[in-house]
């Protein structure tokens, strides 16, 4: 099945369920949106990572990320792979020593980890057909502008120099030399400007 890449577009209170939140995912190459209702704790975990906040003690998802890193397991991607009775299912696609490992996950936890690992999120056409919504007219135009602004913020230019240096160290430690080169180039570009 062909995978469709998604971005996190918004995180807000759920209109339909008072104590829950909704994370809205949007396909990169289209106007469909996939709203998913999640709990408050998971919404907080996603928001903390998206805002690049550093809690004084690691949250559960930070602990899991640190554990994966310690055992040299690389989270490659998240796949929202099923929808049964209104419940979304997801898998963490990991790699360790060249072996691909799939781990079953709640979608909200998978998204919290995707933000921390900066890895892509995918789904399949049948899920977007069954649960996706299409934006139309002025709402779609606003969404498109907002999405392009968000995409630009995701670039390395949005990180502080301290964060870039930490990211560089992590990339080298993980032997992700392609990522390390991009980070190094951004650090060099800034050094020349100042």
- Both 145 and 163 in one domain: the answer is no
- Average pLDDT on 12-29 reads 80
Domain identity same for 122 and 136: yes
pLDDT at 99 over 70: yes
Do residues 49 and 139 share a domain? yes
Give residue 66's pLDDT band: very low, low, confident or very high (50, 70, 90).
Answer: very high
Q: Which of 81-95, 124-138, 141-155 has the lowest mean pLDDT?
A: 141-155
Same domain, 70 and 127: yes
Q: Which of 124, 120, 42, 26 is nearest to 75 (CA)?
A: 120
Looking at the fold, whether 47 and 70 belong to one and the same domain comes out as yes
CB contact at 8 A, 11 and 47: yes
**pLDDT bucket at 139, cuts 50 / 70 / 90:** low
Residue 101's pLDDT band (cuts 50, 70, 90): very high
- pTM reported for the whole predicted model: 0.68
Q: Answer positive or negative: Cα dihedral of 117, 119, 136, 86.
A: negative
Whether residues 145 and 180 share a domain: the answer is no
For residue 144, the model assigns a pLDDT of 45
Domain containing 61: what range? 3-154
Exposure on the CB side of residue 123, measured as CA atoms within 13 A:
30
- Do 108 and 162 have their domain in common? no
Domains contained in the chain, number: 2
Neighbour-count burial for 160-177, b at 16+ CB within 10 Å, e otherwise: eeeebeebbeebeeeeee
DSSP-assigned beta bridge partners for residue 93 = 77, 102
CATH of the domain at 29: 3.10.690.10
Order of strands, sheet of 121-124, starting from the edge strand that comes earlier in the sequence? 99-106, 87-96, 74-84, 121-124, 3-13, 21-27, 32-38, 133-134
Same domain? 180 vs 141: no
Check whether residue 124 and residue 185 sit in a common domain: no
Same domain (yes/no): 138, 48: yes
């Amino acid at each position: 099945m062909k995978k469709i890449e998604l971005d996190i577009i918004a995180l807000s209170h759920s209109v339909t369920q008072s104590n829950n939140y909704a994370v809205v995912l949007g396909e990169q190459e289209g106007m469909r949106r996939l709203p998913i209702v999640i709990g408050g704790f998971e919404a907080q975990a996603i928001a903390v990572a998206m805002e690049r906040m550093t809690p004084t003690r690691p949250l559960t998802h930070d602990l899991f990320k640190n554990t994966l890193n310690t055992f040299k397991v690389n989270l490659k991607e998240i796949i929202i792979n099923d929808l049964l009775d209104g419940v979304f299912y997801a898998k963490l696609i990991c790699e360790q020593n060249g072996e691909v490992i799939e781990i079953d996950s709640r979608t909200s936890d998978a998204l919290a980890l995707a933000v921390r690992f900066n890895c892509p999120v995918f789904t399949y056409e049948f899920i977007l057909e069954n649960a996706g919504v299409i934006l139309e007219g002025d709402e779609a135009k606003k969404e498109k502008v907002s999405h392009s602004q968000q995409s630009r913020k995701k670039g390395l230019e949005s990180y502080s120099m301290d964060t870039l240096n930490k990211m560089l160290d992590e990339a080298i430690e993980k032997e992700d030399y392609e990522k390390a080169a991009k980070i190094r180039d951004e650090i060099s570009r800034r050094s020349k400007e100042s």
